Amino acid sequence: MAETTKTHSITIAQRPLQLSWAGVTDLGRRRETNQDAFLAEFPLFIVADGMGGHAGGEIASRSTVARLEAIVESGAVDREAIENALELAVADIADHPETTDEGTGTTLTGVYLDVAGDEPQWVSLNIGDSRVYLLRDDRLVQVTTDHSVVQELIAAGKLSPEEAEGHPYSNVITRAVGASELTPPDYLTIDVRPGDRFVICSDGLTKELTDYGIQHFLRENADPGDAVDAMLAAALENGGRDNVTLVIVQVSATDESSSTDGDTSE
Ligand code: CA
């Protein structure tokens, strides 16, 4: 079960808004360890999916999340702080006695609310093949681009998205935190709009649920905690072949003049 939905009030262009979020991580049905980790603390919402033998994957994802949690506690979440935290995470992973395997590393995907400018904005970041989706105006879009061999083949026109499913290289990612060296994340800036909902997830969710399925559970569940629980249950029912982790963040208008919040707009 997800932890209870948490909230935080913000004001954008004199308009009161509420952020609410929930997250969950689960072993799944086939794996013996959970190598995923997540962080859902305003203003940073992150999923990390570790890889590597023995305890390596777990150490990589947890070290990275711990370093990011520290910058949330220090109150300075921006690009520079994130990249400094990632450098420290890479050192933690390299120094750990159990991470001798060169393939040890983690994906890192998520969003943070950048409040430094005149108007707060979302910034998405991505390394690897965990994903950020955005449901806006009832349309689901994948915000991040996977750093994976299969995605590169699709981009080069050598593989169709249909052929990609079950491809032997479907688990091979081309960027990670801690694998050999650290590449900076891809960033994308997104304006803040009431009604928006982000889904941040590891591939354990997207292996079991299609984009249509994700959209369906968002439509059916106005509360982030309920949506998280419904998607996890569906992923487990569909096989739970990998660790499943997801965080949902939504933006609601709290002034009475607006009805763009939740599922009431239709
Ligand atoms: Ca995974």
Q: How confident is the model at residue 185 (pLDDT cuts 50, 70, 90)?
A: very high
Residue 195 has pLDDT above 90, yes or no: yes
- Tell me, in angstroms, the distance from the centre of ligand 1 to residue 205's CA: 8
CA distance 265 to 217: 17
Residue 83 has pLDDT above 90, yes or no: yes
What pTM does this model have? 0.92
- Tell me, in angstroms, the distance from the centre of ligand 1 to residue 49's CA: 5
- Tell me, in angstroms, the distance from the centre of ligand 1 to residue 127's CA: 13
Encode pLDDT of 210-236 as tens digits: 999 999 999 999 999 999 999 999 999
Amino acid code (one letter) for 236: L
CATH 3.40.50.2000 fits 6-256, yes or no: no
- Tell me, in angstroms, the distance from the centre of ligand 1 to residue 261's CA: 32
Amino acid code (one letter) for 169: Y
User: What confidence score (pLDDT) does residue 191 get?
Assistant: 95
- Tell me, in angstroms, the distance from the centre of ligand 1 to residue 24's CA: 14
Q: How confident is the model at residue 265 (pLDDT cuts 50, 70, 90)?
A: very low
Q: How confident is the model at residue 178 (pLDDT cuts 50, 70, 90)?
A: confident
More confident of the two residues 181 and 154: 154
Residue 200 has pLDDT above 60, yes or no: yes
Residue 91 has pLDDT above 60, yes or no: yes
Residue 67 has pLDDT above 80, yes or no: yes
The neighbourhood of ligand 1, an ion, using CB within 5 A, equals: 49, 202-204, 242
Q: Are 63 and 29 in contact (CB under 8 A)?
A: no
Residue 54 has pLDDT above 80, yes or no: no
CA distance 255 to 108: 34
Question: Would you give the end-to-end CA distance of the chain in angstroms?
Answer: 29
Q: How much is the mean pLDDT over the chain? A: 90
Percent of the chain predicted with pLDDT > 90: 71
CA distance 214 to 264: 19
Encode pLDDT of 30-52 as tens digits: 999 999 999 999 999 999 999 98
3-state secondary structure the chain: CCCCCEEEEEEECCEEEEEEEEEEEECCCCCCCCCEEEEEECCEEEEEEEECCCCHHHHHHHHHHHHHHHHHHHCCCCHHHHHHHHHHHHHHHHHCCCCCCCCCEECEEEEEEECCCCCCEEEEEEECCCEEEEEECCEEEECCCCCEHHHHHHHCCCCCHHHHCCCCCCCCECCCECCCCCCCCEEEEEECCCCCEEEEECHHHHCCCCHHHHHHHHHHCCCHHHHHHHHHHHHHHCCCCCCEEEEEEEEEECCCCCCCCCCCCC
- Tell me, in angstroms, the distance from the centre of ligand 1 to residue 148's CA: 13
User: What confidence score (pLDDT) does residue 257 get?
Assistant: 52
The token pair at 213 is: 């399925």
Q: How confident is the model at residue 264 (pLDDT cuts 50, 70, 90)?
A: very low
Encode pLDDT of 109-166 as tens digits: 999 999 888 889 999 999 999 999 999 999 999 999 999 999 999 999 999 888 887 7
